[in-house]
Amino acid sequence: MFQLFKKRKLYSPVSGTSVALKNVDDEVFSSLMMGDGIAIDPIDEVVVSPCDCSIKLIMHESKHALGLLMNNGVEILIHVGIDTVNLEGQGFEILVKEGQKVKLGTPLLKFNKDYIISKGYSPMTLMVVTEPKGSSIDKKYEDISVIGGKTPVIDFC
């Protein structure tokens, strides 16, 4: 019975500094058109799972984004970089397969931050709750240093 009131957490998908989504230089994300969430200015180059979930979708050609599905039906998008779809997969390596179940902290993809920057793109990594399934974000931990898979960045209920 007490599980009904237990808050769930999403952990940072990459190490760096958390940033308010509204401050991201991409109108689709900053206007919350895709959903609410948080951004991470990365210092690391490995994206890890922010929770126990399954891999719902991989952008195979561009390799810059993954869709995750939690057991409770909540869907999450992790998107590495701003406009990095234009890199056509260069500088990215997917480490998982669609349908694969993963645990919090499991490496999902690697990216080459210097390569992304050298091509004129931002490596800002976005985590957006695209399908809340009746859940709502209670708190976002913005403007703090985070460690991928270790630091909570979103509480929801």
The predicted-structure confidence for 111-154, as pLDDT tens digits, reads as follows 999 999 999 999 999 999 999 998 899 999 999 999 999 999 99
Is 38 domain-assigned? yes
- Spatial distance between the Cα atoms of 46 and 134, rounded to a whole number of angstroms: 30
The answer to whether residue 79 is catalytic is: yes
* CA-wise closest residue to 80 among 117, 130, 33: 117
Residue-number span of the structural domain to which 81 is assigned? 8-135
Within-domain flag for 140: no
Residue from 79, 84, 91, 109 carrying the catalytic annotation:
79
d(CA 145, CA 63): 26
pTM above 0.85, yes or no: yes
The answer to the question of residue 64 being in a domain is: yes
Label the pairing between strands 92-94 and 101-102.
unpaired
147 within some domain: no
Provide the number of structural domains found in the chain.
1
- The token pair at 30 is 């900053």
